[in-house]
């Protein structure tokens, strides 16, 4: 009986050692990867004047545009959209403004 307890304890000890060893090695790899700097993303600076929408150089704050055709909309013009449910998630499908929406 004591031999069986000894073997079970030895197996538990070996499995605990292997688990801890692999955990420590994974931690070392992550730390060395973090400090090596090989996977760092290159930061790119973009001038704000160069950001535009479909050929437009600058969009003033509060200006309303259609995301499909880029037309400037007044505050009384809206977008045509429909509500859909996809994978139990509610989403809005934008179909366009009065300038680009074509009803079939």
Domain match, 38 and 1 both: yes
Which of these, 100, 104, 103, lies nearest to 67 by C-alpha position?
Answer: 100
- Mean pLDDT in residue range 84-98: 89
Q: What is the model's pLDDT at position 100? A: 86
Indicate whether 40 and 70 sit together in one domain: no
Residue 101 lies in a domain: no
Whether residue 81 lies inside any domain: the answer is yes
pLDDT tens per residue, range 4-13: 999 999 999 9
Q: How many CA atoms lie within 13 A of 91 on its CB side?
A: 9
Q: Is residue 35 part of a domain?
A: yes
Q: Tell me, yes or no, whether 92 lies in a domain.
A: yes
Which of 10-14, 18-22, 83-87 has the lowest average pLDDT?
A: 83-87
Q: Domain for residue 49, yes or no?
A: no
30-40 pLDDT, tens digit per residue, is 888 777 765 55
Question: What tokens were used for 65?
Answer: 């545009």
Q: Provide the domain count of the chain.
A: 2
Q: What is the dihedral of CA 76, 81, 87, 88, to 10 degrees?
A: 50
Within a domain: 6: yes
Distance CA 40, CA 34 (A): 9
Cβ atoms of 67 and 78 within 8 Å: the answer is: no
Residue-level pLDDT at 55:
63
Domain extent at residue 18 = 1-44
């Amino acid at each position: 009986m004591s031999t069986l307890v000894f073997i079970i304890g030895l197996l538990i000890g070996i499995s605990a050692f292997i688990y801890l060893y692999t955990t420590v090695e994974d931690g070392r790899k992550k730390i060395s990867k973090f400090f090596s700097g090989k996977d760092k993303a290159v930061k790119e600076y973009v001038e704000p004047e160069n950001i535009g929408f479909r050929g437009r150089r600058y969009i003033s704050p509060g200006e309303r545009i259609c995301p499909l055709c880029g037309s400037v909309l007044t505050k009384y013009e809206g977008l045509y959209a429909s509500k859909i449910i996809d994978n139990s998630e509610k989403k809005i499908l934008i179909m366009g403004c009065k300038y680009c929406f074509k009803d079939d």
